[in-house]
Structure 1
Amino acid sequence: MQDSCIKCRSLLFVALFILLFSACTDNGSQAEDDNDDGKVSSGTSTDEKNISEVKDGFLIDSRDGHKYKVVTIGNQTWMAENLNYAYLEPMYGNDSSSFCYNNDPSYCKKYGRLYLWDAAKDNAGRFNSNENIVRGVCPLGWHLPTRDEWEELLLTTGGFSVAYRTLKSKTGWKDKKEPNDNNGTDDFDFSVLPAGLFSNIYDKNGVYDEEGEKAAFWFYTKRALASPTPYFLFLKDDNVVYVVVSSKTYQQLKVSVRCLKDVPMENENSEKSKGKKGKSGSFTDSRDGKTYKTIHIGSQTWMAENMNYETGNSNCPLDSAGLCDEFGRHYGFSAAVDSACPVGWHLPSDHEWSVLFNEVGGVPIAGKMLKSSTDDWIYYDGVRGGGSDAYGFTVLPAGERDESVWRNAFFWSSTKMSNSNDAYVMGMSFIDDRITVYKCGKNCTLSVRCVED
């Protein structure tokens, strides 16, 4: 697979991509556990009638009366605790399909339950579902998060390079070198605890492992709603990692579930859907005399055009000088970091990109807000694929290397992934309004937008 082709790697975005473990078995489970209210959860009832409502910062699950803290972050409302609903359908040789770590009920009270994928997505069809989302094992009115929804959370809470710290709880994580070195700051009250998981990394028969060190959560890709592809996301040390799960693995892998509140589509991000252009200006690059439009959005001042400074390891889209004039140049990562931006400006980090996205309404609509409204974008389903350019940022479909011109825009961030030579890339497409985060390495050449120091 070529490193330069982002569109061919849409499943490899953000962080370490790992194809997992072979199948494992575990026949033990805690079939029921007392929750904090002294009640026993049961996965066999389908008689719920009411949406589980939020009141005074808490969600009461109408199925079993279990009480969960909730938190609103940006445009999303999440459970601030792991789900602890006992889904008891026997699956794959197990006597249940949700489990307490080490089959000890005290861990369910501390961390919530660990779920097989088929339990997380409610494969037995116990609960009513929405055709547009996978409710899964979550309470009525809530659902299993998608990849895009997790991605929105990570960007809203500071970007991938810092979210591992801002989302983790302040206590409970095993230290690496110094006291409290591995705990988080819990800046958003999301309170991720190191619940561990069940896998066969260290034992071919499967073991409960990494309690105190790792948190892992199920999610899926919305593009495959009829048969959602299982992934899990985990936080460990200084990493946020997405992992695709092979069909042989998800039958036995057991990880946590965080549920996300349903939001009517017409109400999403309505407050900032029109946008407000900031103060515009211009900047002349003393190196070659080119002048660029600038725009002030929130607390940041950005160039409102792609960089077009010729330097080593850069090229014109499709090797056309005319497209350089229209779309700016494509840069390799080293050139993007070291020489693309003029003095007084720099390549933005993933956190700086996330500040911009949050300012213009959030990840789900930031593409629409930032994309140009010009005819450069191709049509999709009879509609021009551009945006409203509500803030004057004017993203054009410059593509990447020799591909996807007039379809997509990809921008380098300066943030490299942990233990990798790849960096985070911000992508916008002609087919939707959101931001998608990718990874790309030394063979990629992409657009550069500079932000003022």
Structure 2
Amino acid sequence: MNTKIVVFLSLFLFLLAGCGKEKDGKYYNLDNGLSLDGTSLLDFRDDQVYEVIEIGDQAWMAEELRYVTPNSKARKNIQLYSWEELMQESLSSNTVPSHVQGICPKGWHVPSNAEWDLLVDYLIILVTESIDSHDISRVHETVAKGLKSETGWPPYHNYFEWVDANGTNTFGFNAFPSSSSHIGFWSSTESDSLYALPFQLMHVQTIQQFIEDKRQQNACRCLKN
């Protein structure tokens, strides 16, 4: 049978079975919003489309979540959320996977601190092997640059000169800043009743994981279940 006919029939049966939705010529699975080729995600709540990137064994949204809630704040085409808004009444989790859907679309979840650690650890090993260097500072700088977008980061002054703060987007994560100096992503993991653990990329080409007040607003990247 002609290949085009086979593809057409497959898509027809996919839609007929109620398993998918078509948007702009792509077909998306109703269970998790993934396109048939696995490269994009359709959030059925607001019809927003996101690129998807696989890094190691994880499938990440390659863009910041843009889903608008009553208390989210828009900044540079990014929605920022308090930790409570992010979690949607779910309890703190540091498991792999976190099992916290929170504000993420169906079939996706808010990554735990342990899952952010898995991402960073995987990239540290990858970079250490690729540049053949065990200089921790250089490796961390290369990882940070590789996670950041190639544009959008304002230069910073290091007391001697202006320095380019843009990344290389080597890994396709494409993180844009939400301020002049950083982008923070919440995890599903709290430190205590008042504080939680975000993951942060800085203008100075570093990665930070620290404790922050749950009332602060950070971005969200969702992980596929």
State the TM-score, normalized to the length of structure 1.
0.35
Asked if the contact 2:190/2:196 (under 8 Å) is kept, the reply is no
**Which of 44, 47, 51 is the equivalent residue of 1:62?**
44
Q: Distance in 1 between matches of 2:184 and 2:73?
A: 14
Q: 2:128 aligns to what?
A: none
Give 1:123-134 correspondences, 5 Å limit.
123=89, 133-134=99-100
Question: What SS class does the counterpart of residue 170 from structure 2 fall into?
Answer: coil
Q: 2:217 aligned with 1:254, yes or no?
A: yes
**Structure 1: runs of 5+ lacking an equivalent:** 1-36, 38-49, 89-96, 102-106, 126-130, 196-210, 263-453
**Which of 17, 39, 57 is the equivalent residue of 1:75?**
57
Question: What SS class does the counterpart of residue 156 from structure 2 fall into?
Answer: coil
Q: 2:155 aligned with 1:188, yes or no?
A: no
Question: What SS class does the counterpart of residue 124 from structure 2 fall into?
Answer: coil
Question: What SS class does the counterpart of residue 165 from structure 1 fall into?
Answer: helix
Asked if the contact 1:76/1:260 (under 8 Å) is kept, the reply is yes
**Which of 70, 74, 82 is the equivalent residue of 1:100?**
74
Asked if the contact 2:101/2:110 (under 8 Å) is kept, the reply is yes
Q: 2:149 aligns to what?
A: 169
Asked if the contact 2:194/2:214 (under 8 Å) is kept, the reply is no
Q: Distance in 2 between matches of 1:74 and 1:228?
A: 33
Q: 2:185 aligns to what?
A: 217
Q: Distance in 1 between matches of 2:163 and 2:172?
A: 18
Question: What SS class does the counterpart of residue 155 from structure 1 fall into?
Answer: helix
Q: 2:213 aligned with 1:239, yes or no?
A: no
Per-residue CA deviations over 1:412-443 (Å, capped at 9, x if unaligned) read xxxxxxxxxxxxxxxxxxxxxxxxxxxxxxxx
Whose Rg is larger?
1
Per-residue CA deviations over 1:54-81 (Å, capped at 9, x if unaligned) read 1141100011111001100110000000
Q: 1:153 aligns to what?
A: 119
Q: 2:83 aligned with 1:117, yes or no?
A: yes
Question: What SS class does the counterpart of residue 182 from structure 1 fall into?
Answer: coil
Asked if the contact 1:221/1:228 (under 8 Å) is kept, the reply is no
Per-residue CA deviations over 1:147-197 (Å, capped at 9, x if unaligned) read 1111111122236713211101111111135677211111111001011xx
**Structure 2: runs of 5+ lacking an equivalent:** 1-22, 24-29, 92-96, 126-138
Counterpart amino acid of residue 215 in structure 1: I
Deviation of 1:223 (Å): 10
Going from structure 1 to structure 2, the CA distance change for 1:132 and 1:193 (only over 3 Å counts) comes to closer
Counterpart amino acid of residue 155 in structure 1: D
Deviation of 1:51 (Å): 2.5
Asked if the contact 1:174/1:213 (under 8 Å) is kept, the reply is yes
| Larger relative contact order (Cα-Cα within 8 Å, sequence gap ≥ 6) | 2
Deviation of 1:53 (Å): 2.2
Aligned-residue RMSD, C-alpha: 2.9
Stretches (4+) displaced over 4 A? 177-180
Going from structure 1 to structure 2, the CA distance change for 1:187 and 1:179 (only over 3 Å counts) comes to farther
Q: Distance in 2 between matches of 1:133 and 1:83?
A: 18
Asked if the contact 2:195/2:214 (under 8 Å) is kept, the reply is no
Asked if the contact 1:78/1:261 (under 8 Å) is kept, the reply is yes
Which structure shows the higher helix fraction? 2
Going from structure 1 to structure 2, the CA distance change for 1:235 and 1:124 (only over 3 Å counts) comes to closer
Q: Distance in 1 between matches of 2:47 and 2:182?
A: 28
Going from structure 1 to structure 2, the CA distance change for 1:250 and 1:153 (only over 3 Å counts) comes to same
Q: Distance in 2 between matches of 1:171 and 1:136?
A: 30
Per-residue CA deviations over 1:287-307 (Å, capped at 9, x if unaligned) read xxxxxxxxxxxxxxxxxxxxx
Give 1:373-388 correspondences, 5 Å limit.
none
Going from structure 1 to structure 2, the CA distance change for 1:229 and 1:143 (only over 3 Å counts) comes to farther
Q: Distance in 1 between matches of 2:58 and 2:194?
A: 22
Q: 1:436 aligns to what?
A: none
Question: What SS class does the counterpart of residue 54 from structure 1 fall into?
Answer: coil
Asked if the contact 2:191/2:197 (under 8 Å) is kept, the reply is no
Asked if the contact 2:144/2:207 (under 8 Å) is kept, the reply is yes
Per-residue CA deviations over 1:342-369 (Å, capped at 9, x if unaligned) read xxxxxxxxxxxxxxxxxxxxxxxxxxxx
Going from structure 1 to structure 2, the CA distance change for 1:180 and 1:60 (only over 3 Å counts) comes to farther
Percent identical pairs in the alignment equals 31
Going from structure 1 to structure 2, the CA distance change for 1:243 and 1:73 (only over 3 Å counts) comes to same
